[in-house]
Amino acid sequence: MLFKDKVCWVTGASSGIGEALAYRLAREGAQLIISSNQPVELEQVASRCLKHTSFCNAIAFDLNNPDEVSRVAKETVEKFGPIYLLINNGGISQRALAHETPLELDRKIMEIDFFSYIILTKAVLPGMLSAGEGFIAATSSISGKFGFPLRSAYAAAKHAIQGYFETLRLELQPHNISVTIAYPGRVRTNISLSAIEKDGKAYGKMDPGQATGIPVERCAEEYIRAIKKRKPEKLIGGKELLMVHIKRLFPSLFFRVIKNVKPT
C-alpha cells in the first residue's frame, strides 16, 4: 500500500491502461487525480474509483494543446500540493506510412505522446524535489525499442521518451525520486481504434494482435509493481517482447524477422 493517502496523478485514464492503473491505485487508497480528453468517460472512471478510495478528482484537458497542459498542470499543483506519483500515460497511436503522413500529424503525435509528458513532469518536479521524494512513470511501447511499419511518428515519440526519462532518472537519483519507463507490447485496449490515419481520421479498427493481447488488468498490475520496486524499465506483454531481445542480441536476425510481421 505504498500509495495509500498519497496524491497520485494518472493521465490517459478514461480507458485502457490508464483506466486500469486508476482502479489499481484506487484500491490502494490513493488520493487520485485522473485526466484525459474524454470528460464523460473520465467521470465514469472517477465514480468507480470512489468505491475504493475517498478522493478522486477528474480533470479533462487536451494533451495536444501545450498551453492548456501547462495551465492545468500549474493549477493542479497549486490546488493539490506536491504530487507523489505522476504516471504519464495519455497518448495516441498511428496507422499511416511515413511518406504519406503530413508533418502536422507528426507534430501532433509528438505533442501528445512526448512533449505533454515533459510539461507535466516539469510541473510536478519542484514539489517532489522540495519534499525529497516522489515517483515518475512514463508509458512508452515496444515501439520505443524498435521501429515498426505505419508507426513512424509514434515510434519516434516513444524512442524520445526513453532518452528523456532515462536521463531524468539519473539526474533525480540523488533526490530520492524514482523514474520508471513501461514498455507495453500487445495489451487488450482500444488504442488501434483511435489511432490516426494519414488524413487525421481515426483508424477505427481493432488490430488482431491487440485483440489477443494480455488483459489490461495484468498490464496495470505489472506496471504498478515495477514502479513500487523502482525499476528503471519494465517490458509488459507476451511473446512479442522477444523481438526486443532479438534486436539487442541478434540485430541482423531481427531485421529479417520484423519485415514479415504484419503491422495491423
Q: Give the tens place of pLDDT for each residue, 95-121.
A: 999 999 999 999 999 999 999 999 999
pLDDT at residue 259 in the model: 87
Place of cell 505522446: 113
Listed residue (174, 172, 113, 156) closest to 138, CA to CA: 113
Q: How many Å apart are CA 19 and CA 16, to the nearest integer? A: 5
| Structural domains in the chain plus CATH codes | 7-258 (3.40.50.720)
Going residue by residue through the chain, which has 264 residues, state the pLDDT in tens, using 9 for 90 and above.
899 999 999 999 999 999 999 999 999 999 999 999 999 999 999 999 999 999 999 999 999 999 999 999 999 999 999 999 999 999 999 999 999 999 999 999 999 999 999 999 999 999 999 999 999 999 999 999 999 999 999 999 999 999 999 999 999 999 999 999 999 999 999 999 999 999 999 999 999 888 999 999 999 999 999 999 999 999 999 999 999 999 999 999 999 999 888 887
Cβ neighbours for 78, distance < 8 A, ≥ 6 positions apart: none
Global pTM? 0.96
- Give catalytic residue positions: 154
Between the CA of residue 163 and those of 6, 46, 47, 80, 258, what are the distances in Å? 28, 33, 36, 29, 23
